[in-house]
Amino acid sequence: MFKKICFVFIVSIAASSPILSQTPDTVFLEELTWTEVHSAIESGTTTIILPTAGTEQNGPHMVLGKHKYRINAGAERIARTLGNTLVAPAITYVPEGDIDPPSGHMRFAGTISIPIETFQSVLEHAARSLKQHGFTDILLIGDSGPNQRPQEYIAEQLSSEWLEDNVNVFHIGDWYKVGVFDEYLVSQGASYEQIGSHAGLRDTSLLLAIAPEHVRINKINPGRGPDVDGVSGNPTLATKELGQAGFDLIFNAAMEQIRELMERD
């Protein structure tokens, strides 16, 4: 009798608990089982986004994982818009400057940097892994400046090698076309000095729109310079509304490039 009651109780929990539910509504590879991924590929999900981010200082007011949160939000939106697309785990170790003596963002605690050659190797072998499983369109989308040229190089190299296999690797450089957002901010009355090049108005607005919990509101102050607090620009002018407008502009630019590349192919 006791065993019967336990069995009914367990079945009841399994039927009602979201923890024990079926395949979740997700585009993220790491949230799926291998059988779910295999079934998705067999059913026509053969496009995958390989996002790259970084682990770097972003002033006293934004977390080191800023790029990861931004690119994951963008990659998910792109994947759901394209359809039949998954998102690989973001690569968060990227070139950020020399380690010893430190340069660039490595001058600030918490930043992690790897050589460009190592980054290219990780990109290459991640793409080779995805091709092996049956993905035929691999989109390299990076949310950090130093990632762009290595991605372009690997995309060209692998696409050339896999020409006869009908497997494409695309570098989506327009995701990092920050100029399109800068132009919008200028139209709203901001100066380029206020926008800044790092952790300023532009960067802070984007994270406020995407992951506001990772912005320390009480730590936001006008930047004192890249060599002092790591901030270029004025983050005190940042708002969620400006960030959402910028996120839409960047997303649209990336989508336009993706569609052009995939249609051309």
In angstroms, the CA 216 to CA 226 distance is 18
Range of the domain at 60: 17-264
Mean pLDDT (the chain, rounded)? 93
Whether 121 maps to a domain, the answer reads: yes
Q: State how many domains the chain has.
A: 1
Q: Tell me how far CA of residue 134 lies from CA of 82, 142, 236, 254, 262, in angstroms.
A: 18, 23, 47, 24, 17
Residue 167's domain is classified under what CATH number? 3.40.50.10310
- On whether residue 8 sits in a domain, the answer given is no
Q: What is the pLDDT of residue 51?
A: 98
Burial 161-171 (b: 16+ CB within 10 A, else e): ebeeeebbbbb
Predicted local confidence at residue 201, as pLDDT: 98
Rg (CA), the chain: 21
C-alpha closest to that of 49 among 121, 125, 116, 130? 130
Instruction: Establish if 3 belongs to a structural domain.
Output: no
Does the residue 219 lie in any domain?
yes
Residue-level pLDDT at 17: 53
pLDDT at 22: 80
